[in-house]
Amino acid sequence: MKIQKIETLVCHARMRNWVFVKVVTDQPGLYGWGEATLEWHTRAVVGAIEDVAELIVGEDPRRIEHLWQMMYRQHFWHGHGIVRSTAISGIDIALWDIAGKIAGQPCSQLFGGSVRDWIRTYCHLGGGKMEDFYEIAEDDAKRFAELATQAVGEGFTAMKTLAVPPTMPIEGLVPIRRAEAAVAAMRDAVGDEIDLMVDCHARPSPAMGLKFGKALDPYGLYFFEEPCWPENLDGLAAINAATTTPVATGERITNLAAFRDLFARRGCEICQCDITHCGGLTGARRIAALADAHNIALAPHNPQGPVSTAASLEFGFSQPGYIICETVHADVPWRDDVVEEGYTIESEGRLAQPNTKPGLGVEINEEAVKQHPFEQELPQRVFYRDGSIGDW
């Protein structure tokens, strides 16, 4: 059995271009789907997949670890730069889909079988509509509360918001009070039964992240995400130690050694490795073993397209430390047109039931994808009041 070709299908989904990867074998009808979505880097990733494909076309797709080593280590440059790591991840996910199809089993069965009956999912405020997640006025606590109530009405028991505004390295009380007001309004609106998460998008400096963390601690957040740059392990560790709210991070980390350092410094309680960036299911499973050794939970980053969600669920059904699946459901109204999924999500409680189809259980509708060709992603840039550059 040989890999015959590796194709990419780009599907413009407003905020992102979903990059679907199709690994085609020389066996009739046997192919796998992966996803390598990397917003604002679509052309680079498509090119990187072409470069990496040179290494493995003609090889046996069943030798996943061997091919992963080729993709990561050959051609001199290691595969942890974000573009190449995303390309490798997309191909790796497709190889596991093929392995599942060969076995006639969902991927989670290949990873040792299911460790749970269902997986809880959470949404972004607004369900992934970018204006409702990224563009609520920072002093509009009422709007945060309305959207949180709406998510509960849609059946979610957990939701994430970007209630921490961009701040310069040091600022006074105003942004802290605004974040606190937004979270207080959401908590008042949904009560204690619903889990709220705040994503800081690594906007704050460690000093500001600590201030936000302390201010929001009394509201019992489920987790507090990227409270400072992921590169700043001491900052993450200090915030994680100073608050009872668990810190979550990892979506921008692409290699095992960096996760080792993060975990060893106790920079987080929740690992948000992104399966489409951290080396695919092969990389994520190694990271999960490392997290397990530190009793760190898993909640993979997943705001991308439907293949990424399927991969996260297959991973989650096989990983004891997996706590919740990030989902986006309202980014584009035609999301369901491009994919047929093997798993189901109940509208009441938004619990994912396991996929029973082979591999990832997904089928991409290639004709539907063609209706949404590549478009440049909408720019998202942050400048502080004085014109200096901030983090989005």
Closest CB to Mg ion among residues 99, 325: 325
* CA 46 to the chain's CA centroid: 19
Gap between the Cα atoms of 194 and 204, Å rounded: 26
Q: Does 341 bind Mg ion (CB under 5 A)?
A: no
Considering the rule CB under 5 A, would residue 35 count as an interface residue with Mg ion? no
Q: Where are the alpha helices (DSSP H) in the chain?
A: 42-56, 64-73, 82-103, 107-110, 130-134, 141-153, 173-190, 206-216, 233-242, 256-264, 280-293, 306-318, 366-370
> Of the two residues 138 and 199, which places its CB atom closer to Mg ion in the complex?
199
Nearest distance from C-beta of residue 302 to Mg ion, angstroms:
10
The least CB distance from residue 257 to Mg ion, in Å, is 22
Question: According to the binding rule CB under 5 A, does residue 274 interact with Mg ion?
Answer: no
Per rule CB under 5 A, count of chain residues that contact Mg ion = 1
Q: Mark whether 301 is an active-site residue.
A: yes
Q: Are 91 and 56 in contact (CB under 8 A)?
A: yes
Q: How far is the CB of 267 from Mg ion (least distance, A)?
A: 15
Choices 28-36, 61-69, 194-202, 234-242 (CB under 5 A): range interacting with Mg ion: 194-202
Rounded CA gap, 259 and 131, in Å? 32
Supply φ then ψ for residue 374, to 5 degrees. -50, 135
Instruction: Quote the least distance from Cβ 300 to Mg ion, whole Å.
Output: 11
Q: Specify the stretch interacting with Mg ion by CB under 5 A; choose among 28-36, 64-72, 193-201, 345-353.
A: 193-201
Burial (Cβ within 10 Å: 0-12, 13-18, ≥19) of residue 105: middle
Burial class of 320 by CB neighbour count within 10 A (0 to 12, 13 to 18, 19+): exposed
Position closest to Mg ion via CB: 199
Tokens of 11: 């599907």
User: Minimum Å distance from CB 190 to Mg ion?
Assistant: 21
Q: Which of residues 195-234 bind Mg ion (CB under 5 A)?
A: 199
Residue with Cβ nearer Mg ion (199 or 331): 199
Residue among 124, 301, 329, 372 flagged as catalytic: 301
Q: Is 78 a catalytic residue?
A: no
Helix, strand or coil, per DSSP, at residue 383? strand
Catalytic positions, written as ranges: 201, 301
Residues lying near Mg ion in the complex (CB under 5 A) are found at 199
